[in-house]
Amino acid sequence: MQNNALMKNKILAVGSVALDTIKTPFGKVKEALGGSATYFSAGARFFSPVSVVAVVGTDFPKKHLALMKRLGVDTSNISIEEGKTFRWTGEYDFDLNSAKTLKTELNVFANFKPIINPENRFCRVVFLANIDPEIQHAVLSQVKRPSLSACDTMNYWIQNKKKSLVGLLKKVDIFLCNEGEARELSGEYNLIQAARWLLSKGPRIAVIKKGEHGVLCFSRESVFSAPAFLLESVFDPTGAGDTFAGGFIGYLAGAPSRINESVIRKAIIYGTVLASYNVESFSLKRIAGLGRLDIEKRYKAFQVLTQF
Ligand code: AMP
């Protein structure tokens, strides 16, 4: 068994590993590598080691698992089961902020019962990326006393598993969702009211993502508002929220000091930087080729952009 000290920064992330078929005004792609846990890990790996918990079918191309491994992601908790991989089909019109889901095929995820291998049960940080809240509960309950837990979701689960999702809010430190989901879950149109509702259900921090309009981060004592990084060409927004979460949680997990307001604000900007790279191409094409220096370069450019 791995030494507990070595698990200090390691993130255990559950979520979808998927084959995505997507159309945007600028192009289309069929059965490309996607999924909430895939994008999350591709962002978080710059700051902290990540192990992904997921299931794929026997049709899942081996080259996708090889890519995740090449990026340094621990894939030992991804099981391969008889059947088809989770598939998501979506499209965007010129308002790239909201995806239209055309089809969600859960396939092998429909009956997935995650079993975390013994050494990963000691991970100190747990990220429950967008997936069935019952799977999120099952993973969280197997981890021994995490020091930080966070959770994301999407309208599909708000509509189909709301009770289970609200139950999860009690158990996590940070909750992330986009503005439409915050409104739908809370029943409040105003985002301050929606955040207040979310915080009243348990988490210490609620992060509301607003696509090209940036992000709001609420705690009981403070609010931080950050714009998105200004880009000349946005190609495909799929996975922006997940790579944002990767940069945000990855930075928090590996933060040199205790988590305080200043560390949280830096983490929000690293998340913003990761998301901005992700939307420049389909699938993982852009972020898979990045190095830590690219991240720092854009982080500095963001500081220049927002200084006054
Ligand atoms: P984002 O654009 O950050 O919200 O994430 C998009 C990713 O989430 C895509 O790669 C999809 O494969 C994945 N996805 C879409 N619908 C679901 C769902 N209902 N549960 C889990 N993952 C999903």
CATH code of the domain covering residue 109 = 3.40.1190.20
Is residue 1 a part of any domain in this protein?
A: no
Is residue 183 a part of any domain in this protein?
A: yes
Output phi, psi for 147, to 5 deg: -85, -20
**Stretch 144-172: mean pLDDT:** 96
C-alpha span between 79 and 88 (Å, rounded): 19
Q: Which of 224, 287, 272 is nearest to 38 (CA)?
A: 287
pTM score of the predicted model: 0.96
Do 218 and 199 touch, CB atoms closer than 8 A?
yes
CA of 19 relative to ligand 1 center, distance in Å? 10
Is residue 145 a part of any domain in this protein?
A: yes
- Residue 124's pLDDT is 94
CA of 88 relative to ligand 1 center, distance in Å? 7
Total structural domains in the chain? 1
* 207 Cβ contact list (under 8 Å, min separation 6): 174, 175, 176, 177, 215, 216, 217, 218, 248, 268
CA of 217 relative to ligand 1 center, distance in Å? 22
Is residue 255 a part of any domain in this protein?
A: yes
CA of 171 relative to ligand 1 center, distance in Å? 22
Nearest CA to ligand 1 atom 6: 239
Nearest CA to ligand 1 atom 18: 131
**Stretch 129-133: mean pLDDT:** 97
Is residue 3 a part of any domain in this protein?
A: no
Is residue 99 a part of any domain in this protein?
A: yes
Testing ligand 1's pocket by substitution, the residue of 104, 112, 130, 276 carrying the most ligand atoms inside 8 A of its CB is 130
- Domain containing 65 equals 8-306
Other C-beta atoms lying within 10 Å of the C-beta of residue 106: 16
**Stretch 88-92: mean pLDDT:** 96
| Gyration radius of the chain over CA positions | 18
Angle in degrees, 0-180, between the axes of helices 179-186 and 191-200, rounded to the nearest 10: 60
Is residue 85 a part of any domain in this protein?
A: yes
Summary mean pLDDT of the chain:
95
Pocket lining for ligand 1, CB < 6 angstroms? 16, 18, 20, 34-36, 88, 104, 130-131, 154, 156, 238-242
Ligand 1, atom nearest to 99 Cα: 2
Q: Which of 138, 113, 98 is nearest to 55 (CA)?
A: 113
CA of 130 relative to ligand 1 center, distance in Å? 7
**Stretch 258-284: mean pLDDT:** 96
CA of 36 relative to ligand 1 center, distance in Å? 5
Is residue 109 a part of any domain in this protein?
A: yes
Give the pLDDT confidence of 2-34 residue by residue, as tens digits: 445 556 799 999 999 999 999 999 999 999 999
Q: pLDDT band at 207, cuts 50/70/90? A: very high
DSSP secondary structure of 68-90: HHHTT-EEEEEEEESSPPPEEEE
Other C-beta atoms lying within 10 Å of the C-beta of residue 116: 20
**Stretch 81-103: mean pLDDT:** 93
- Residue 4's pLDDT is 53
Ligand 1, atom nearest to 242 Cα: 3
- The DSSP symbol for 109 reads G
User: What ranges make up the beta strands (E) of the chain?
Assistant: 11-14, 18-24, 27-34, 50-57, 74-81, 87-91, 100-105, 125-128, 148-152, 174-178, 205-209, 215-218, 223-226
Asked whether the predicted pLDDT for residue 79 surpasses 60, the reply is yes
Tokens representing residue 176 in the block = 């992330």
Ligand 1, atom nearest to 18 Cα: 12
Do 46 and 73 touch, CB atoms closer than 8 A?
no
